[in-house]
């Protein structure tokens, strides 16, 4: 508890806090690999008739870096696509906010020191400044890419200039389409040849490709307009 109070009060060296953030993230990744997602049967038995527990459980899974696509698909099996979308969206935003807070407390000051050390003109400083100016766009485009690790970005965004409200708004907008599609895929997984399953899978692929193209275009535009 003493260490936690010192962290909250900023009483620990920023390098130590940044190292602690890395340790936390790596430990969570190991936990995900070791435990894996719960099966639909176990999830149904654990949360049946308990919507608040369902949302909180999804929030914990988001903090623990469990894959959002898998969580949404399992929720789709258990609840159906529309309820699953609501549960997963709400729980994921809660978990993302918590992880963002951890990244802000442990990583923000260290990132500030790194940018100052390079005179505020290095590549990292330019990226951090761009994120501060184009925060909503940056968060939305990052969320549109299913291949970008959702959980890791929660912690990483916390260490940047992105404000909490902008982070949550951009996250909600960016993950809503894919969350619904993952839930539909899960709900229709028992019949993988059905039009519903095939349509949702195709739209998920289109969303991934479209997101990748959009991010590539924005990255090139940002590079052209970023002072060197």
pTM of the shown model: 0.79
pLDDT tens figures, 111-132: 666 665 555 455 666 666 767 7
Domains: count for the chain: 1
Task: Note down the domain range covering 214.
Answer: 2-225
Backbone torsions φ then ψ of 226, nearest 5 degrees? -90, 125
Structure tokens at 31: 């936990």
Residue 175 clears pLDDT 90, i.e. is over it: yes
d(CA 48, CA 44): 5
146-158 core/surface letters (b: 16 or more CB in 10 A; e: else): beebbbebbbbbb
pLDDT tens figures, 48-61: 778 899 999 999 99
Residue owning tokens 């508890």: 1
Phi-psi region of 38 (alpha: psi -120 to 50; beta: other; left: phi over 0): beta
Q: Which residue has the higher pLDDT, 86 or 219?
A: 86
């Amino acid at each position: 508890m003493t260490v936690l109070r010192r962290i909250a009060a900023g009483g620990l060296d920023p390098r130590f806090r940044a190292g602690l953030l890395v340790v936390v993230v790596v430990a969570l990744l190991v936990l995900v690999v070791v435990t894996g997602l719960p099966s639909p049967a176990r999830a149904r038995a654990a949360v049946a008739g308990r919507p608040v527990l369902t949302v909180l459980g999804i929030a914990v899974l988001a903090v623990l870096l469990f894959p959002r696509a898998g969580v949404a698909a399992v929720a789709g099996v258990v609840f159906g696509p529309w309820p699953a979308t609501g549960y997963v969206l709400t729980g994921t935003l809660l978990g993302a906010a918590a992880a963002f807070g951890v990244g802000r407390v442990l990583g923000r000051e260290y990132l500030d020191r790194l940018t100052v050390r390079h005179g505020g003109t290095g590549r990292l400083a330019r990226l951090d400044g761009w994120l501060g100016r184009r925060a909503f766009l940056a968060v939305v485009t990052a969320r549109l890419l299913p291949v970008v690790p959702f959980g890791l970005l929660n912690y990483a965004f916390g260490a940047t200039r992105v404000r909490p409200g902008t982070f949550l708004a951009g996250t909600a907008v960016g993950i809503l389409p894919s969350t619904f599609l993952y839930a539909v895929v899960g709900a229709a997984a028992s019949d993988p040849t059905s039009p519903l399953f095939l349509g949702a899978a195709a739209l998920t692929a289109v969303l991934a490709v479209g997101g990748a193209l959009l991010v590539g275009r924005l990255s090139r535009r940002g590079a052209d307009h970023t002072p060197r």
